[in-house]
Structure 1
Amino acid sequence: MSSLEASRDLVEQLVRSILTQQLGNGTAGNGQAGLAKPNVVANISARHCHLTQEDVNVLFGDGYQLTEMKRLYQATDFAANETVAVVGPRQRMIPGVRILGPCRQFSQVELSFTDSISLGIDIPVRLSGDVEGTPGCLLVGPKGSLVMPKGVIRAERHVHMGTNDAAYYGVKHLDRLNMRVDSPCPTTLEGLLVRVNPDWKLEVHIDTDEANCCDLVHATNVTLFRP
């Protein structure tokens, strides 16, 4: 082998080594080889509530069915035309809180930390559906009202993903990822809870306080990566 060929081989080995370190065995970030890089969609989860059909009946009338205003990014869910007022201690109220459908097996109100201060409710950060030991509130609809004994939470920042997305990032259900937001207020949000379902598209959900903190509306890029 000539010295020129040896030098070229050495350079190629060095280049491959650097690319492997920087691109994670041939793919961007810490993805897996052979899998296409997913498109990361980050959306702001504004205050909203999920209701059982029984609670819809109380608030809107017996047998009432929620009506669809628009489909959400996850096509299984929709924003309803219907809203309710959420009332906290000392009659503090937030009107026009959107209901998301379809109806669920539990009722839950998801607020931001700023909302909780406005209502005077000390709400914990929880995974959706984990409502044991959480505070309640009064819900008021056009046909009635009801007291929720529990179910008011600040939803934990999380990312929905399908099985191919999970394989790309090398994670499983209930693992954690971090998210870098490139914006006028560049920020890294840590500990996004991974939620995996074969029917889901890749989508990050953060609340309005978190979105304002990193100026998500004006972000030029968002990147998910393992801690």
Structure 2
Amino acid sequence: MDNQFLESIVNEVIKRVQDETCIEIEASGKHVHLNRAAIDALFGEGYQLTKARDLSQPGQYACKERVTLIGPKGSLHNVVVLGPERKQSQVEISHTDAVVLGVPVPVRESGKLDGTPGIVIASGSNVMQLEQGLIAAQRHIHVKTEDAKKFNVDNGEIVQVKVYGKRPLIFDDVLIRVSDNYETYMHIDYDEANACGFAKGTKGKILKKGS
């Protein structure tokens, strides 16, 4: 049998196995979620965010609007705003971004903002001080409810994920978030993406802690 043909068969089998047992991984760059008060301050009272493209999670989308984050040491420009508007503003960056800004950033689950640092956000000549809400998002997996049984995971559980990237590794302390409103994807930031040689279509396998 031709070696190239045999290799193609093996690769197809591996792909099918991964499709059944693995989850797709997405890398998220720096972005902001804004509440109504922040949108008014940055873009004008009553301003409505402009959808540019849908994201993998239902109802979530990237907007055409961009902002600048200003820290004690530097700035990050062209930072995407994600919609829809939220009850509280939140800014998600990587630790590399935090070095540029000169602000220590804690690793937090999305929405758990008590005690987090603030940041200055600008849009054109409009500038506002966000008092808290700057985080490096805890690596996590959005799991559709019907997939939770398939992967044997529960909401709030902490797992490991073996990533099959160009630089395979195992991520620890990965939070499981289960909801009927989710599609099943793991989210990591660009620092983590670089560590595993991420490329579009990269997949990972959930490993139960202690197993």
Same fold (TM over 0.5): yes
| Number of the residue aligned with 1:82 | 65
Superposed CA deviations along residues 98-156 of structure 1, whole A, max 9, x for unmatched, are 00000000001000000001100000000011111111110001351110111100000
Matched ranges for 1:208-223 at <5 A: 208-217=190-199, 221-223=203-205
Check conservation: 1:60, 1:143, Cα contact below 8 A: no
Superposed CA deviations along residues 158-195 of structure 1, whole A, max 9, x for unmatched, are 00011111112222111012111123211111121000
Q: Could you list the structure 1 runs, at least 4 aligned residues long, displaced by more than 6 angstroms after superposition.
A: none
Q: Distance in 1 between matches of 2:203 and 2:139?
A: 18
Q: Distance in 1 between matches of 2:96 and 2:88?
A: 24
- Offset of residue 38 of structure 1: 6.3
Check conservation: 1:181, 1:188, Cα contact below 8 A: yes
Matched ranges for 1:197-216 at <5 A: 197-216=179-198
Question: Structure 2: which 5+ residue stretches go unaligned?
Answer: 1-16
Tell me the C-alpha RMSD between the 2 structures.
1.9
Q: Distance in 2 between matches of 1:147 and 1:99?
A: 16
TM-score using structure 1 length: 0.80
Amino acid at match of 2:24: V
Compare relative contact order (CA 8 Å, sep 6+) and give the higher one, 1 or 2: 2
| Number of the residue aligned with 2:56 | 73
Q: Distance in 1 between matches of 2:56 and 2:75?
A: 29
| Number of the residue aligned with 1:101 | 83
| Number of the residue aligned with 2:3 | none
% identical equivalent positions: 34
Higher radius of gyration, 1 or 2: 1
Q: Distance in 1 between matches of 2:132 and 2:61?
A: 23
Does residue 140 of structure 2 align to residue 164 of structure 1?
A: no
Does residue 22 of structure 2 align to residue 45 of structure 1?
A: no
Size of the alignment, in residue pairs?
A: 193
Structure 2 CA distance for partners of 1:167 and 1:55, relative to 1, 3 Å = same
Check conservation: 2:161, 2:172, Cα contact below 8 A: yes
Q: Distance in 1 between matches of 2:133 and 2:81?
A: 14
Q: Could you say what secondary structure the match of 1:118 adopts?
A: helix
TM-score using structure 2 length: 0.86
Structure 2 CA distance for partners of 1:159 and 1:82, relative to 1, 3 Å = same
